[in-house]
Structure 1
């Protein structure tokens, strides 16, 4: 059986996205299963060379094992925006592996959190009932842990991505280390700031139920305070309908700051709102550093209003999860962890790292994303 094909996805609203990946043929007794072959690596200054090498090492080890078909499911929160490159990466990897299975989209930001959690739980139950052997999931919250634990108890490998459930029975988490990401973001902004004293507004999170968001915020705050700046955290309001309320909150913080504001740092995908707030406060010249690569953020970078951004390698987040799932089945959890060791923050968390993109490198980074098919 040859490993060919690519996983193409079609969305039915934001409810469910599915794709059959790989060949549907079952190898006969005398038919040889071909070794896994990855698509050629894109040569670009932004290519994560060490990460690519680690994936190659994992593939080489898997190819030494007894290769067998695998059914897997990757569940993302939505199929658009931030998660579009995640879905692209997962689909491509499943195609290269010859895996069968689905890339499934949740409700995104539609409905209340409880509704989103339960909808995803039902998707997980359906995947388990359908015979999936591995689950990669970007969970909506702690309410997803129990159903994932039930899957793990049945011997199904579970990998979380983007958002972790560290107290669940998941085997590995794949995503950005929010502690190091916050520190890096703070350091990037410091390079753009005048010497203190001065206040920096962080568009971050103070929601203690969202550990990842608070970790990123607190480590950015520590980096800036360590450099002598006063930090005010303006807690993010996620709702698109309340965008102006979010901007107004930052505007008020800018106008009330003592000492005066000398810069702003956005830590999540709607970082472009920092530029909107600076304009609303009649301070369009404030140095601003952002997070993620939302088209609106890119637009402000092109205008010189956002000086740099930090991208979480969403494509690779989706791409490596099927390989990890396949590795755990074919060579075991410990052997898979050993190969991933250079990127592990601890024994169960895989840190993808960040791409720091300066404002004058927007076109170059876009070219890289286009080359791997991962533009949002």
Structure 2
């Protein structure tokens, strides 16, 4: 292992995982051991096309020669959502036997440096230390210049979870947000009586958060197409939970025609159940998003009927393999193998899982098989 991870842990933040560095010991350009990937146990939630695509990428890489590589995956948070990403990335780097770290955020209690600035420093440090590939969960366009500088110096960059499409990054790995929002809406629509009626969307009407807006729009378009009136209730992350719940309550109370169902498109959509209770409308069916413990609690109570979950473990897992593929096969060769997962020219869609309330335990069993229990 190089000193990169140790230096960054001191200077930039928490190192959550390190991978083996066996391939770095092989002479460059010589035939070495094959990549051996343990099989993933079969489950009703196993993403078979995604798993098969990884196998196909490994098979193609194994036709060539060992390529020593150093990489880093930079995350902007280490809450349960990002912990699953870290688990996937660490496992992939271990299977590839590359030198690499997964780095989380840092303590910002002193110095006044923002998370965005620190992440840009991490990207620059990776370039300085000779890293071959960077996976980054970015904050948005604020990271574009740092990403572009890395690419211009020959470092492959792949974004995950969030994207910076204005940058020179090679690929984005994550959720197709329009499709995810539509999936949540379609799950709810199957539970509703025929229109007319209003369907409340706990999302965002603002375009500042591009991914959130796209997800909201995906839900809105599906609801409108089905003949219902979509009504967005702004999700307030930055304010007290009670404010958000009261806003949901007020939107339900004022809706005309009455609200027939609620769909949330963010991880805080468990608040929809709280808002419906506050409006004295506990009978309203609700479909949530992601797998927050409070969402699960409301699902077990029968208050939330289903949730649509991003495959964040697979976002983390795919990135090291993609970075390795770009280095050994080239970007075009890697994209050719990734074709079953590609949306457009530069998005690798990891998809979503729809989990009804009666499948909570089965989904937890699936997460347990891949070591990504949330």
Q: TM-score of the superposition, structure 1-length normalised?
A: 0.92
Q: Distance in 2 between matches of 1:200 and 1:76?
A: 34
Q: Distance in 1 between matches of 2:227 and 2:217?
A: 15
Cα shift at 1:16? 2.3
Cα shift at 1:23? 3.1
Residues 321-369 of structure 1: CA distance to partner in whole angstroms, max 9, x if unpaired?
A: 0000000000100000000011111111111111111111000000000
Aligned to 1:3: none
Q: In 2, are the aligned partners of 1:17 and 1:79 still within 8 Å (CA)?
A: no
Residues 70-94 of structure 1: CA distance to partner in whole angstroms, max 9, x if unpaired?
A: 1000011112221111010000000
Cα shift at 1:34? 1.1
Q: In 2, are the aligned partners of 1:77 and 1:108 still within 8 Å (CA)?
A: no
Relative to 1, partners in 2 of residues 1:212 and 1:131: Cα closer, same or farther, differing over 3 Å? same
Q: Distance in 2 between matches of 1:295 and 1:285?
A: 22
SS of 1:74's equivalent? strand
Q: In 2, are the aligned partners of 1:82 and 1:269 still within 8 Å (CA)?
A: no
Relative to 1, partners in 2 of residues 1:219 and 1:27: Cα closer, same or farther, differing over 3 Å? closer
Give the number of equivalent residue pairs: 364
Q: Distance in 2 between matches of 1:224 and 1:110?
A: 44
SS of 1:136's equivalent? strand
Relative to 1, partners in 2 of residues 1:245 and 1:164: Cα closer, same or farther, differing over 3 Å? same
Q: Distance in 1 between matches of 2:331 and 2:178?
A: 25
Cα shift at 1:262? 0.9
Aligned to 2:367: 369
SS of 1:254's equivalent? helix
Aligned to 1:217: 216
Q: In 1, are the aligned partners of 2:198 and 2:230 still within 8 Å (CA)?
A: yes
Aligned to 1:195: 194
Give 2:336's match in structure 1, choosing from 321, 335, 338.
338
Q: Distance in 2 between matches of 1:150 and 1:57?
A: 32
1:1-376 counterparts in 2 under 5 A? 15-23=13-21, 26-27=25-26, 33-106=32-105, 115-239=114-238, 242-376=240-374
Residues 137-185 of structure 1: CA distance to partner in whole angstroms, max 9, x if unpaired?
A: 1101210010010000011001001111111000000011111111111
Q: Distance in 1 between matches of 2:258 and 2:276?
A: 13
Q: Distance in 1 between matches of 2:218 and 2:282?
A: 26
SS of 1:19's equivalent? strand
| Residues 93-102 or 30-39, more deviating | 30-39
Q: In 2, are the aligned partners of 1:205 and 1:236 still within 8 Å (CA)?
A: yes
Say what the alpha-carbon RMSD is for the aligned residues. Answer: 2.3
Q: In 2, are the aligned partners of 1:200 and 1:261 still within 8 Å (CA)?
A: yes
Q: Distance in 2 between matches of 1:280 and 1:178?
A: 29
Cα shift at 1:107? 5.6
Q: TM-score of the superposition, structure 2-length normalised?
A: 0.92
Relative to 1, partners in 2 of residues 1:135 and 1:292: Cα closer, same or farther, differing over 3 Å? same
Q: In 1, are the aligned partners of 2:29 and 2:67 still within 8 Å (CA)?
A: no
Structure 1 gap ranges (5+): 1-6
Q: In 2, are the aligned partners of 1:110 and 1:116 still within 8 Å (CA)?
A: no
SS of 1:207's equivalent? coil
Cα shift at 1:243? 1.2
Q: Distance in 2 between matches of 1:70 and 1:29?
A: 10
Q: In 2, are the aligned partners of 1:78 and 1:108 still within 8 Å (CA)?
A: no
Cα shift at 1:283? 1.1
Structure 2 gap ranges (5+): none
